[in-house]
Amino acid sequence: RIQGAIFDLDGVLVDTAKYHYLAWKRLAAELGFDFTEKDNEALKGVSRMASLDLLLKAGGLTFCSEKKEELAAKKNAWYVEYLQQITEDEVLDYVTDTLTRLRRLGIGLAIGSASKNTPLILEKTKLAPYFDVIIDGNCTSKAKPDPEVFLLGAKGLGYPGEECMVFEDSEAGILAANAGGMVSIYLGTSSCADADFTISNLSEFWETDIM
């Protein structure tokens, strides 16, 4: 039986994936190459430095680690600049309804995100009070597809991985949830072969028999 729900943040709760993409695209443009939405899929759920490595690979470029730190900081500064103007409007459809309904059913609620900007996003969108546990890029050392972030989430909720479900919009995140023994639910319009379930939005969750 499912006792806990762990939510990825970017692209699942909040529509911030587009700002990550804009910032990476801007960095690529500055480095002299084009970065498409299709290239961007592989970056979803992936940590900042690992994302930069994928971006540079797509552009056929290599830099020393000092320069890479500088580029990652530049991308993040742009991203944070975009985040300044976000509000509750950026919370995705059916999110607050779903959280409220799960809470009423007695399900523990956690966030499991790779983002170090999680506190800022939660403040801007006023989502923090919905959650019992928040695990983000500031308290993890291994990036998805490693299950660390979700295992810490499950532990914080007090349930074994098998009693938790994970909502994710990235391939890396689905693999992390599977590795943690959790029920993996992919949110997206395309399909994800590794996910236990695929839904195109959170309202569809309520039409499944997952719970």
Q: Shortest gap between Cβ of 8 and Mg ion (angstroms)?
A: 4
Query: How far apart are alpha carbons 23 and 27 in whole angstroms?
Result: 6
2: left (phi over 0), alpha (psi -120 to 50) or beta: beta
Shorter beta-carbon distance to Mg ion: residue 90 or 160: 90
By CB under 6 A, name the one of 71, 111, 114, 151 that touches ligand G6P. 114
10 part of the active site:
yes
Residue 25 within binding range of ligand G6P, rule CB under 6 A: no
Which one of Mg ion, ligand G6P, none interacts with residue 46, CB within 5 to 8 A by kind? ligand G6P
15 part of the active site:
no
Query: How far apart are alpha carbons 169 and 156 in whole angstroms?
Result: 22
- The dihedral over CA atoms of 132, 135, 138, 142, expressed in degrees to the nearest 10, equals 170
Q: Does 43 count as an annotated binding residue?
A: yes
For residue 145, cis peptide bond before it (omega within 30 degrees of 0):
yes
Active site residues: 8, 10
Binding site for ligand G6P (CB under 6 A): 10, 20, 43-48, 51, 76, 113-117, 137, 170
